[in-house]
Structure 1
Amino acid sequence: MQRLIVTLDGPAGSGKSTVARMLADRLGVEFLDTGAMYRGLTAKALDRGINPAEEGYAVVGLARNCDIRFDFGHSPPRLFIGSQDMTERLRDQHVTAHVSDVAALAGVRQVLVDAQRKVGAEHPRLVTEGRDQGSVVFPNADVKFYLDARAAVRAQRRADQIRASGRHADLEAIRDAIVARDHKDSTRADGPLICPEDAQRIDTSEMTLDEVVDLLERRVREAVEATA
């Protein structure tokens, strides 16, 4: 089986998860949502009464001592921590509010980067998305993309996503949170959000979802043909 690792990095609300899932379906490969791992761990920490901003040591201990895995029998894969399915918790607002604090912890990143590389070894035909996939986790990926969009556009997309699930969305608060998270993610000491030098940067601000997926699919297939 020929290996094909495609990475999608980018800031919060840039559509990475949806695009990566659709791209994986188009290419007939598997999909890894690494942000779900950080969000699932955040939810688990909050359930335990841990404040990630003040008790980072406790979050690191939790990461080291719990089994974080995906069930690839579902599409998209469902995230489990131990025997608990955390999938429906991942977009909770209180999880979103704390996930950057969790993602900034070097000890957490070490555990989850190792887990992500293990997934890549077990599933060598994979589209994986996150904030450090092409820069840290899979530096030798076959094709790398960096998706971006204006903060206002990303906020509107996230608000639409929340409203589609039947929940209230405060657009201004979402935009402020996205800007704050951009700053946290790009300035953290370990695995900061950057555009890898060899990644193709795509501004999706004026593109529809299908247009983005069409473009990425075409470029992946061109890259595969060029190396065949």
Structure 2
Amino acid sequence: MTHTFTIAIDGPAGAGKGTLARRLADHYRLNLLDTGLTYRAVAYALIQHALPLDNVSAAETAARQVDLAKLDRAVLSAHAVGEAASKVAVYPTVRRILVEKQRDFARTPPGAVLDGRDIGTVVCPDADIKLYVTASAEVRAQRRLAEIESIGGTADFTEILADIVRRDERDMGRADSPLKPAADAHLLDTSEMAIEAAFLAAMAIIDDVLAKRDKA
């Protein structure tokens, strides 16, 4: 792949888009960015400095200081950070600051796979490929529970499901950059699909676009 190529992957939490994004970035040798980590980094900074999540000015400052090269997934993956991130992500000014950083990342050769909530609609509306990965709330809750139990933790399925439903409502209902599939996105419902099947389906879509581009 000799030209800049952008793959936008959107969808709700727990649908499997993160795993798919990593597989695709590795296969096509593209840069990878989980844009959700940028919002988590803002939330984490506020938490670390004991600042309230509704302090928009502090959130803007934290957003400007986010370094995409230093996003620590292990630290930022904490459940509390994710909950906080969904709250600071509703601020339009914070989103604008982070979107510019994300766009700069996407423009860096050889290209990138960006995983998030508004990549195909806002961050990279001209992406070469747009995928919208989804799954039922119940399936996503079950996956989250299995993930927690696999590392020795315990959790309540009902609480996880309620949390996912609340987050979906927040993400889909916000006025600025709501979660929704782009008009030209390819839909992948992973409710009854293993990651390998989703990966192969995505590859088929991408390879078709690349083949047509090579003939042009």
> Could you tell me the TM-score, scaled by structure 2's length?
0.93
Distance 1:90 1:123 in 2: 26
SS in 2 for 1:166: coil
Q: Which runs of 5+ in 1 are unaligned?
A: 72-78, 80-85
Aligned to 2:142: 156
Distance 1:50 1:167 in 2: 28
Q: Which amino acid aligns with 1:63?
A: A
Aligned to 2:113: 127
SS in 2 for 1:122: coil
Aligned to 1:82: none
Is 1:38 the equivalent of 2:24?
Answer: no
Residue-by-residue CA offset, 1:72-100 (whole Å, 9 max, x unaligned) = xxxxxxx1xxxxxx321222121122111
Number of aligned residues: 213
1:38-187 matched pairs, under 5 angstroms = 38-52=39-53, 54-64=54-64, 66-70=65-69, 79=71, 86-187=72-173
Aligned to 1:220: 206
Residues 135 and 43 of structure 1: CA distance in aligned 2, closer, same or farther (over 3 Å): same
Q: Is the 8 A contact 1:145 1:201 kept in 2?
A: yes
Q: Which amino acid aligns with 1:61?
A: T
Q: Which amino acid aligns with 2:130?
A: K
Q: Is the 8 A contact 1:36 1:90 kept in 2?
A: yes
SS in 1 for 2:69: strand
Q: Is the 8 A contact 2:38 2:66 kept in 1?
A: no
> Could you tell me the TM-score, scaled by structure 1's length?
0.89
Residues 44 and 190 of structure 1: CA distance in aligned 2, closer, same or farther (over 3 Å): same
Distance 1:186 1:67 in 2: 25
Q: 1:199 aligns with which of 176, 185, 206?
A: 185
SS in 1 for 2:132: strand
Residue-by-residue CA offset, 1:80-128 (whole Å, 9 max, x unaligned) = xxxxxx3212221211221111111111101110000111122442111
SS in 2 for 1:190: coil
Q: Which runs of 5+ in 2 are unaligned?
A: none
Aligned to 2:23: 22
Alpha-carbon distance, 1:57 to partner: 2.8
Residue-by-residue CA offset, 1:106-157 (whole Å, 9 max, x unaligned) = 1110111000011112244211110000000000000101011000001111
Alpha-carbon distance, 1:15 to partner: 1.1
Distance 1:198 1:111 in 2: 26
4+ residue segments displaced more than 6 Å: none
Alpha-carbon distance, 1:55 to partner: 2.1
